[in-house]
Structure 1
Amino acid sequence: MAESARPSLRRQLLLWLLLPQLVLWAGGGLLAYRIALAYAEKGIDQSLTQSVRSLARQVKPIGSCLLVDFPRAAQDVLEADPTDRVSYMVSSPPGEFLLGNQRLPQPDGMSSAQGEPLLYTASLDGKPMRFVAMDVSYGETGSPQTLRVQVAKGLAVQQRIAGELVADMLAPLLALGVLLSLAVYGGIQRGLTPLTRLTAQLENRSVNALSPIAATQAPGEVHALVQAINGLLGEVARSVQQEKRFINDAAHQLRTPLAGLISQVELAQRQTGDPALAERLAKVHTGAERSAHLVHQLLTLARTESQVRREPLDLAALARDVAREWTPRALAAGMDLGYEGEEHLQIEGDALQLREALSNLIDNALRYTPRGSSITLRVRQGSDGARLAVEDNGPGLSADDLNHVFQRFWRANESPGGCGLGLAIVQEIAHRHGGEATVQSLRPQGLRIELRLV
């Protein structure tokens, strides 16, 4: 899984802490809007009830007739505001237009008592409006009649008041929500600081640094995690120590009998005169030497995988010393072994492991380069670290083989003596020094293996 696809603990905490807050804020805004609408509607209902009673008082029955005392000025006041339009209608019998706006809808099944207002909501000209209707009895005892007075008012003002009220309420809440979100984010950052510090401690450790992690000021949860990691590190350290002891003991136990076997085979080769037996003894001698070389390489590989003890050293002087040590063997093989490069180059490194890497590179060149070839050690200062290289003018490797040279137990051919671990050890030593080993074909022929040391 890609790094970006992994769920972040910080992101999850922010999501679970801020998302409910956002949902509650939106739900609270909707509830506040509904409550504001209800209170605004209640105010409109009270206003309509007063208006319908006042209008009913202006209609005065005289016997079986009606006297409507509704001045023009009062009518202008009711219809003055087009955005908050107030319409009225007087009808008798109910529904038979007498005065006002005859398009006012009638209530469905008016069942309120005489003289009691009935409130309802309906549409007028495609707009929702709030209505109130009140029936008033008049006429003589023998012929009673009913007068209906209706007043309607638009809901635009109600909605505007509710919106303004909600906005005035939610704006401070939104500001408080932003401040709360910042406080939550800061709290999460502070709370995750021990985990960040623990991550930095683990990232800055070398591969073989198995000492316990210090977490004296960590919270209880992180302290428990540190204790678990320290327990795991202790188990790994014990396992590594057991593995090292086993490899050392096995190598020691194997080298002694192999050395004795090689000595006995060499003695038998000098004493025998049978060509067939001499040929068989030569094969045994080759196998024994290869086994001894494999044991040595396995032991070296185990040691290179331990922690590097980096100390100040002169890389150029080290390379010259190794070249002098291998010169007799190079001369015996009919090859020219030399050094070119810096006179002195100070670095921080493990002298024992770097000496082993150089020895493996020279040994590899001597094994696979024909007589008469030249082998050169080079030391130089690069832009990204010290460079240590071994070059030869032998046959080199194919492009496909170059991709496998640092693999363990891989061999370019079946020449006797090699075991396929020398260059793997070189790469491991380069990694332990913060760099890498690279291989490059030379022209017209040859091979260069270079270590970059940081």
Structure 2
Amino acid sequence: MRPVAGVSLQRKLLLWLLLPQLVLWLSGGFLAWRIALQNGEKGIDQTLTQSVRALARQIKPIGDGLLVDFPKAAQDILEQDPTDRITYMVSSPPGRFLLGNAQLPPPPVLDIRLGEPLLYHARLDERAVRVALLEVDYGSEPARQRLRVQVAQSLTVRERIAQELLEQMVLPMGLMGLALSALVYAGVLRGLQPLKRLEAQIERAGQRRPVEGDPLPPIELTSAPQEVHSLASTINRLLDAVARGQRKEKRFLNDAAHQLRTPLAGLIAQTELALQESHEPQVRERLQKVLAGAQRSAHLVHQLLQLARSESHVPMEALDLPTLARDVAREWARRAVAHGMDLGYEGEETALVCGNALLLREALNNLIDNALHYAGQGATVTVRVERDTESPRTVLLLVEDDGPGVAPPHLAEMFGRFWRGSDQPGGCGLGLSIVEEVALRHEGRTVAEPVRPHGLRVGLRLPLMPQA
């Protein structure tokens, strides 16, 4: 199961920095709206309080009656805005309409102090209004009476003031939010630059193949934060441990292969001598089995040595790939004829690559050996060097046969270590793994594709030299 990539650190930082900023910006806008409403309401309350006191002063008691001195000019001022006019009502006793331009709702409380204005919210004609109420008494004892004066104004003015104030604040707040977001984004990018440099150094270290025996290059970050220094130090220790493990593995592989090669060569020689001197069928059959096992072991040791050599440092030089391919094909021609196969070369006359002749020769030997081993008697095996149709700066070194081939699902597994395409005796499953190592060492890659109607084409895709 492949691991699922998580959200990047940059996105997480931006999310946790910009999301609270957005929440605070929205909260600030809501608070500004509420403050604007409160300030607008305070202004309305002051206006209504002055209006209700002024109106109450215009009502003068005369004996046991009332004289309302409310000039026409004052009434016009109160009613000059049809959409948001001030509504008033005078009642005595409280609640009994005497005069006014509307029937205003009563207050929500019953305990009302004389001479002190009371402000409350109400609804009039399906509209929200703010009402100021003032009660005074008039007349003499025992016929003293109470007079209620009410003045109301719609809250439309308050909402309009709050909306205008909010509109005036939105643009500056938005510009400040964008500027802050840009600063946060730039700060996150700058803060993550040490991690980017660390990533680049690790990538370069992974692409570079160090000389055998040399440690992997350490990661250096001189101007990074302390946390990145700790991470780099930990990675350096890990790289050093990996390098030590690789050196031990290669040293063991070389030592083991060298130690096994000499006794195996002696075993093969002694078995061949015993076969020449023995004439008993049963003994010869057993000696043939011993000889086949020793030869397989010797071949395995040889492949292990080549694998260790391909993973170590080797010098590169300019060489003509078609010339090398023709030479190797000629060397295998006698064996191909002995197996009843046709082996030949087709392709380019010249193609310069930067590589190691020993490794490329060993890779081609493995490809031809596999083709002769698995294609079957009577097959045709062709060594090719041709320009790559996918990229004009690469060249293909291929071995093609018209044998049974490999099933398409197994093409991707062919270059794994100890993978074998059939149960035929011989081989150890390391040949194509060596081919892949050689391709990687030459900054190329392997190729495996079926041939129609049957057969297999296997090889390397290598970069041409720039002057080629």
TM-score (norm 2): 0.89
The 8 Å contact of residues 133 and 148 in structure 1, kept in 2 or not, is answered as: yes
Q: CA deviation at 1:81?
A: 1.0
Preserved CA contact (<8 Å) 1:430 1:452: yes
Correspondent of 2:420 among 408, 411, 425: 411
One-letter code aligned to 1:439: A
1:352 alignment counterpart: 358
Partner of residue 74, structure 1: 74
Deviation at 1:207, TM superposition (A): 6.9
Aligned to 1:206: 207
The match for 1:254 among 246, 260, 263 is: 260
- Match runs of 1:25-44 below 5 Å: 25-44=25-44
* Secondary structure of 1:232's aligned partner: helix
Give the match's secondary structure for 1:192. helix
Q: Provide the residue aligned with 1:245 in structure 2.
A: 251
**Match runs of 1:107-186 below 5 Å:** 107-186=107-186
Listed one character per residue, the Cα deviations across residues 414-451 of structure 1 (whole Å, up to 9, x for unaligned) are 43332222123223333443443333444566543232
Per the TM alignment, residue 358 of structure 1 is displaced from its structure 2 partner at its CA by 0.4
Deviations 1:288-338 (A, max 9, x none): 000111121123233334467544322122222323433454455555543
**2:292 is the alignment partner of 1:291:** no
Q: Is 1:322 matched with 2:328?
A: yes
Distance (whole Å) between structure 2 residues aligned to residue 33 and residue 411 of structure 1: 76
Check whether the contact 2:59–2:68 (CA below 8 A) recurs between aligned residues.
Answer: yes
Q: 1:275 aligns with which of 277, 281, 286?
A: 281
CA contact (8 A) 1:130 1:155 kept: yes
Q: 1:258 to 1:81 in 2, by over 3 A?
A: same
Count of aligned residue pairs for this structure pair = 454
- Structure 1 position 8, deviation (Å): 1.4
Instruction: Note the 1:389-428 alignment, pairs <5 A.
Output: 389-394=398-403, 396-397=405-406, 405-428=414-437
Root-mean-square deviation (CA), in Å? Answer: 2.5
* Residue 228 of structure 2 corresponds to residue 227 of structure 1: no
One-letter code aligned to 1:421: L
Q: Aligned AA for 1:265?
A: T
Q: Pick closer, same or farther for the CA change 1:2–1:96 going to 2, 3 Å.
A: farther
1:86–1:154 Cα contact (<8 Å) kept = yes
> Which range moves more in the overlay, 319-328 or 254-263?
319-328
TM-score (norm 1): 0.92
Q: Identify the match of residue 215 of structure 1 among 218, 221, 225.
A: 221
Are the aligned partners of 1:137 and 1:145 in contact in 2 as well (CA < 8 Å)?
yes
Separation in structure 2 between the aligned mates of residue 157 and residue 180 of structure 1, nearest angstrom: 34
**Where does structure 1 lack aligned partners over 5 or more consecutive residues?**
none
SS at match of 2:207: coil
Letter of the 2:37 counterpart: L
Q: Does 1:362 align with 2:355?
A: no
The answer on whether the counterparts of 2:97 and 2:103 sit within 8 Å (CA) in structure 1 is no
**SS of alignment partner, residue 73 of structure 2:** helix
Match of 2:213 in 1: none
Contact 1:290 1:416 in 2 (8 A): no
Gap change, CA 1:56 and 1:358, over 3 Å in 2: same
Secondary structure, in 3 states, of the residue corresponding to 2:7?
A: coil
Aligned-residue offset at 1:199 = 2.0
The CA deviation string for residues 135-172 of structure 1, in whole angstroms up to 9 with x for no partner, is 11111233111111110011110111112122223321
Could you tell me how far apart the structure 2 residues matched to 1:198 and 1:150 are? 76
SS in 2 for 1:169: helix
Shift of 1:260: 0.9
Match of 1:49 in 2: 49
Residues 91-133 of structure 1 deviation map (CA, whole Å, 9 limit, x = unaligned):
1111111100342011133434321111111111111111111
Q: Structure 1 stretch 153-162 or stretch 185-194: which is displaced more? A: 185-194
- Bigger shift: 297-306 or 246-255? 297-306
Cα distance in 2 for partners of 1:267, 1:67 equals: 149
Q: 1:27 to 1:444 in 2, by over 3 A?
A: closer
Larger mean Cα displacement after TM superposition, 324-333 or 237-246: 324-333
Moved more, 314-323 or 229-238: 314-323
Is the 8 Å Cα contact of residues 91 and 97 (structure 1) preserved in structure 2? Answer: yes
* Aligned match for 1:386, one of 395, 400, 404: 395
